[in-house]
Chain A
Amino acid sequence: MPVRLLPDASQAYFEPQLPDFEPRTMWSLHNAFTTAAKVMPMSTRLPAIQSVGKMFGMSSEGKRERT
């Protein structure tokens, strides 16, 4: 994820606009990243979201690492 999106991701998590993401959970944080990523072109957005997913344990690789 480009660092320039850090303020947007931070705001989306700590000052959520949607009640669904008010709970301070990993799912809300994940959505903060994907919200911030909306401004990215699809060609970089998809790999970025995948990378975030991997860091949040949404991959078989991550599961192997944690066991």
Chain B
Amino acid sequence: MSAVAEAIQSALPKHGVIKDGHPFFNAAVGGDDRGTAGVPFVLRACQITIREERFALRRDGSVLFGVLELAYGESKDGTAALGLRTANDKSMSIQICAGLAVFVCDNLAFRGDLIALRSKHTSGLNIREELATAVLRFQEHFERLVGEIETLKEKQLTDVEAKALMHDVFAGGSHARPPPP
């Protein structure tokens, strides 16, 4: 059993919601019994090593969240991080997003775009193919993220602009406006 699957298995019993295992969680992140599917397998196939992995279940046990820090795209700022979420209650497809684990402060930055697998809870779903495509898209998104971060570094803010952005973020988007050009 992979470390990812072990993390999930160890987290499950305390929730007590799902009694017979989590086939969809396992398909998404842990792979099958032979470890031949799932995100870790596909990442290995792309020669990407997982440095650290963290998982959490939503309180009702229906949604799994994960962050995989990767030995990929490393720069002075940080290294690539893959955010993942999936549900076993048919409420969402497997979704991943590209992020950066910032070295200096252990912060996580994520792009706003989700990469959703096309099928959810579909019988006959070829999870390996779906995940392989998703990982390729993750790599594209990560490259975009690196460029976007460079743009953010170059954009100086006045204190008034910073306070306005803080307001917009905490206002939850209803009053949100695009960042200054």
Contact = CB atoms under 8 A, between A and B. Distances in A.
19 contacts: A6-B166, A10-B166, A20-B104, A25-B157, A26-B152, A27-B155, A41-B56, A42-B54, A43-B65, A49-B99, A49-B109, A50-B110, A54-B113, A55-B165, A57-B151, A58-B148, A58-B152, A59-B113, A61-B113
Interface string A10-42: 100110001011011111011101110010011
Given A14-B159, A55-B179, A59-B113, 13 more contacts: A5-B170, A24-B158, A24-B159, A26-B152, A29-B162, A46-B85, A50-B114, A53-B110, A55-B165, A55-B169, A57-B152, A58-B111, A59-B111
A13 B162 contact: yes
Given A24-B157, A55-B168, A50 B162 contact: no
Contacts of B58: 43
B136 to A, nearest CB: 16
A1 B112 contact: no
Interface residues of B, number: 50
Contacts, number: 138
Interface of B: 54-59, 63, 65, 67, 83, 85, 97, 99, 102, 104-114, 144-145, 148-149, 151-159, 162, 165-166, 168-170, 172-173, 176, 178-179, 181
